[in-house]
Every structure is written in structure tokens, then in C-alpha cells.
Amino acid sequence: MRTRKFVLSESIKALFDFVGEVEDATEWFQIQEALSPPLRKDLCGTIFERNIRGPTTLFVQWISSEDVEFMQTILAPDGNDNHNKADYNSGTVSPLDQPSTSNEHLASFSPCSEQEETVQKTNLQTILSLLSAKIDDDSPTSNQINVVRDYKGNTHNILRSTVQAFSRRRFNLGARLDVIFVDDTKVAEGAVDGGGPTREYLRLLLKAVQQSSIFVGPENSKRLRLDSEALHKGLYRQISQMISVCIILGGMGPHFFSEKLFLQVCGKPTRPATLDEVDDETFKEMLCKIKEAETLPEAKAAIDLAEDCLSIIGAFRSISTLKQRDMLVQSAVEYYVDGRCNVALQQFVDGFNTLGLLQEMQTHTDLFRIIFVEDKKPLRSSDLTSLFEVNLSDQDTYKRELETRTLCFWRDWIIDVEAEERNSYRFETT
């Protein structure tokens, strides 16, 4: 008897691979709990979806090559495939349904406890893998995205092509993309290199999203900007859907959200808005004059000068103390930065519901921060070293000696760069 622990969310294929590791395993086999229908080796889905819900002993029946043709006849004779599959899975009596009782064919299945499974799932890579598993590998015609490169660095074409594709009535966010780059002579490159065009496209798309009109602020700390036309067209929702696809399909994060915007998307409390976040320089200057007034008459005069702007946002009122002056300024700032963008934020957040990403972000906020907010951790030589797996030749060979010399030179070089001993190189520019 062989024993191993599995996570219920794992693919059933992992269990089949474990069973097939024994020496006398055949190419075809099926597993079965004592009182449950058999499970064929070619099934897919998760362990939980196959009704294995707790610790159990599984019986294994090996199927010889002579029986394979008979099994296929049982599964799909004369086009009546669905009927016979149902019979097979419901335990219809046949020579293949009888479980083996030999101890050498027993596999004890012990899923992890709920606490253990929770710990394993709270890993960003695991979460993203589970989300990407929901994506349909078949790419419908409506998911084709025709892209024109702009070698001058303009990303407008990328965003325009993506918006056009995402706006199609039959576009499926739950299916893979079919990306085609078209050069100046209108020749389609296609996805001939196993996903290379898609990865390049997603990278360019994130750059285009970062430069879009719905964001404002420093390059690596963007916040939402109110664009009434974009709001009317649903662009906020589409852009957050694009970001979701980049994360789930390509494993690429934006890395340009401000801490506040990230927390707003995750539904977490944020700090109060500040004057620095007001992007309208004229209005910002008016508020600064009000706030910097040293006397009450000066503050009232500054408020009168800003009456038109304050009235539009509902912040114009009479004051009798400097404390009321401060409250007026803060209320004006909060409305300008957060209040007027509230509808846009709701539309933006709604787009992250794509494939269940929003729920994971709200549950594991700290894990997702690293792919939304700029990572300010400096790049180290150890980080670069860990990216590569060294495959060396056989020991005591001249080729192995040359390889180890090269490896030493590489490691010494990146250490020198980190220590800035070679001033003409930096990790960021090398």
C-alpha cells in the first residue's frame, strides 16, 4: 500500500501520475473507492470535483493492452457516446468495473486538512495558477487581436486595437487571446512561436494602459483621473479587465498603482486626500491661498476669489474661524480627489471581477500588492543568480572546467556591479 497527501484543489492528473509510478503499472488503468463509480485515467478536473472529499483508500485496476479496445467500445459504440459514458461512470456492471483487492494495488489518499490547504493556497503563484486554470485554451475568432507596432514608442495603436477587440459582442474574457502583429506591409506574424506574440502584446498593453487618459500622477504611482467620455464608454471597466487578463494570462502586473488606488480597488481603508493629489493647478493654487491665509479676513477673501470653483463642488460656504477654513479646504480636496471619481472607481473595480481576480485581491491584499504597486526593493546579485539553473557537463572533463570558470566569472561580475565597483554599469541599465 502506498500513501501520499494531496490538496483537494489539485488536478486529478496528479493523483493518476502518483498511481502510475508503480513498477507493474500499465498504460491504462482506473481507480475506485470501495462503493463509488470508477475513475478513468483520462479524466480531467480537480480531485474535489471527482467527489474525493476526504481520507480514503483507492483500489486500482490495471487494464492490459488487449482490453483497451474493449474499453473504447464500451465508452463510444455506434455514436451513442454520452449514454455509455454515463453507464460507465455510474458503475454499470462490466469486467472493467470490478476493483482489484490486491494490497499492492491499493493507494491510500490523504488530503491535507483545511488549515494546511489554506496555507498552501495563500501563495501568489498558486492563486494565479488556479485563476489561469479557468481559462479556456480554445481561442474563438472573436478573441483575435490585430496589433500594429509603433516603433516610435507610441502605444495608442495597442490600446485602440484592444478596446476594439474587448468591445466585440462575442469577445470571451475567459478564453485565450489570439494575438497577431501586423507589420507595415500588412503581413500577419501570428502566434507561431508558442505564445511569444501574446507575451509581447501584454507587455505593450500594460505600458499603453499606464499612459491612458484615466490615470494621473507620477509614472510609478498612478491614481484615477475623471474622464467623462471614458466613463460614458465604459473604458474604466475595460482597462481593469485588460489588467486582469495581463495578470492571469501572462503573469504580468502593472506595478504603477499608487498605494491608495490599490487599497481602494481592494476595498480597504485609505488615508485622507491631500492637496498634492489635486491635479488642476489653478484650483490647487486657490486652495493653497485659502489654507495659507494667516488671518480670518485673508481666508474669507481667498474663499470669495474661489467662489465659482467651490460652488461647483458644493464646498462654498461662510466661515467664522480658521478651523472652519481648514475643514472647507479638506472637504474640497476630498471631493475633488475621491468624491467626483467615485462612479469611475466603481466601474474600474467592477472590471477586476474578471475570472474571480477581485475576490482574491480582497482576500489576499498583501500578496497582490507586489504586482500592483511599484516594488522599491533594490535588485541584488542573489536575485539574478537565483533566476538561472546551471546545467554542467560531466565531472573531470575539460568542458566542465571551462563551464565552471565561466560560472565564476559571471557571479563575480554581478557582485562587482552590485558593489558599484564598475561605475559604468548598474543592474537597471545592464
Which of 15-24, 36-45, 80-89, 277-286 is the least confident region? 80-89
Q: Do 137 and 182 reside in the same domain of the chain?
A: yes
Domain identity same for 168 and 223: yes
Query: 249 and 146: one domain?
Result: yes
Residue 28 above 80 pLDDT? no
Query: Of 95, 121, 147, which marks where a domain is finished?
Result: 121
Flag whether pLDDT at 411 surpasses 90: no
pLDDT at position 81 is 41
pLDDT tier for residue 304 given thresholds of 50, 70 and 90: very high
pLDDT, mean of residues 369-388: 79
Domain interval for residue 198:
124-273+338-376
Mean pLDDT of the region 392-411? 89
Tell me which of 417 and 362 has the higher pLDDT.
362
Least-confidence region, from 12-21, 178-187, 221-230 = 178-187
Ramachandran angles phi, psi of 152, nearest 5°: -90, 0
Both 205 and 217 in one domain: the answer is: yes
pLDDT, average across residues 183-205 = 65
388 and 342 belong to one structural domain: no
Q: Residue 230, Cβ neighbours under 10 Å: how many?
A: 19
Same structural domain for residues 140 and 58? no
Q: What is the pLDDT of residue 51?
A: 72
Answer whether residue 258 is part of any domain. yes
Task: Check which CATH number belongs to the domain holding 360 and give it.
Answer: 3.90.1750.10
Rounded mean pLDDT, 223-242: 95
pLDDT above 90 covers a percentage of the chain that reads: 39
Across the range 262-288, mean pLDDT stands at: 93
94 and 31 in a common domain = yes
pTM here?
0.60
The answer to the question of residue 429 being in a domain is: no
pLDDT of residue 39: 76
On whether both 316 and 358 belong to a single domain, the answer is: no
Query: What is the per-residue pLDDT for 182?
Result: 79
Mean of per-residue pLDDT scores for the chain: 78
Question: What is the model's pLDDT at position 172?
Answer: 92
**In a shared domain, residues 254 and 116:** no
Sequence-distant (≥ 6) Cβ neighbours of residue 347 within 8 angstroms: 231, 234, 236, 237
The dihedrals phi and psi of 201, each to the nearest 5 degrees, come to: -60, -45
Structure-model confidence comparison of residues 148 and 163, the more confident one: 163
Last residue of a domain, one of 74, 90, 121: 121
The 3 state secondary structure assigned to 318-385 is CCCCHHHHHHHHHHHHHHHHCHHHHHHHHHHHHHCCHHHHHHHHHHCHHHHHHHHECCCCCCCHHHHH
Residue 92's pLDDT band (boundaries 50, 70, 90)?
very low
Position 5 scores a pLDDT of: 72
In a domain, 7, yes or no: yes
pLDDT given for residue 364 in this prediction:
92
pLDDT (0 to 100) of residue 309: 92
Secondary structure in 3-state letters for the chain = CEEEEECCCCEHHHHHHHHCCCCCCCCEEEEECCCCCCEECCCCCECHHHCCCCCEEEEEEEECHHHHHHHHHHHCCCCCHHHHHHHHHCCCCCCCCCCCCCHHHEEEEEECCHHHHHHHHCCHHHHHHHHHCCCECCCCHHHEEEEECCCCCCCHHHHHHHHHHHCCCCCCCCECCEEEEECCCCCECCCCCCCHHHHHHHHHHHHHHHCCCCEECCCCCEEECCCHHHHHHCHHHHHHHHHHHHHHHHCCCCCCECHHHHHHHCCCCCCCCCHHHCCCHHHHHHHHHHHHCCCHHHHHHHHHHCHHHHHHCCCCCCCCCHHHHHHHHHHHHHHHHCHHHHHHHHHHHHHCCHHHHHHHHHHCHHHHHHHHECCCCCCCHHHHHHCCCCCCCCCCCHHHHHHHHHHHHHHHHHHHHHCCCCCCCCCCCC
- The answer to whether position 428 is within a domain reads no
Q: Domain check: are 168 and 226 in the same one?
A: yes
Tell whether the model's pLDDT for residue 223 goes beyond 50.
yes
Confidence of residue 113 (pLDDT cuts 50, 70, 90): very low
pLDDT recorded at residue 165: 92
pLDDT of residue 171: 92
Asked if the structure places residue 55 within a domain, the reply is yes
pLDDT for 195 beyond 90: no
Number of domains in the chain: 4
Q: 312 in a domain, yes or no? A: yes
pLDDT greater at residue 384 or residue 71: 384
167 and 253 assigned to the same domain:
yes
- Banded model confidence at residue 36, pLDDT cuts 50, 70, 90: low
Query: What percentage of the chain reaches a pLDDT higher than 70?
Result: 73
Q: Average pLDDT in the 341-368 region?
A: 93
**Residues 265, 401 share a domain:** no
pLDDT of residue 35: 54
What's the confidence (pLDDT) of residue 114? Answer: 47
Domain boundary among 285, 307, 337: 337
Label residue 76 by pLDDT band (50, 70, 90).
Answer: very low
Does any domain span residue 427?
no
Q: So what's the pLDDT on residue 318? A: 92
Query: Is position 310 within any domain?
Result: yes
pLDDT band at residue 189 under the 50/70/90 scheme: low
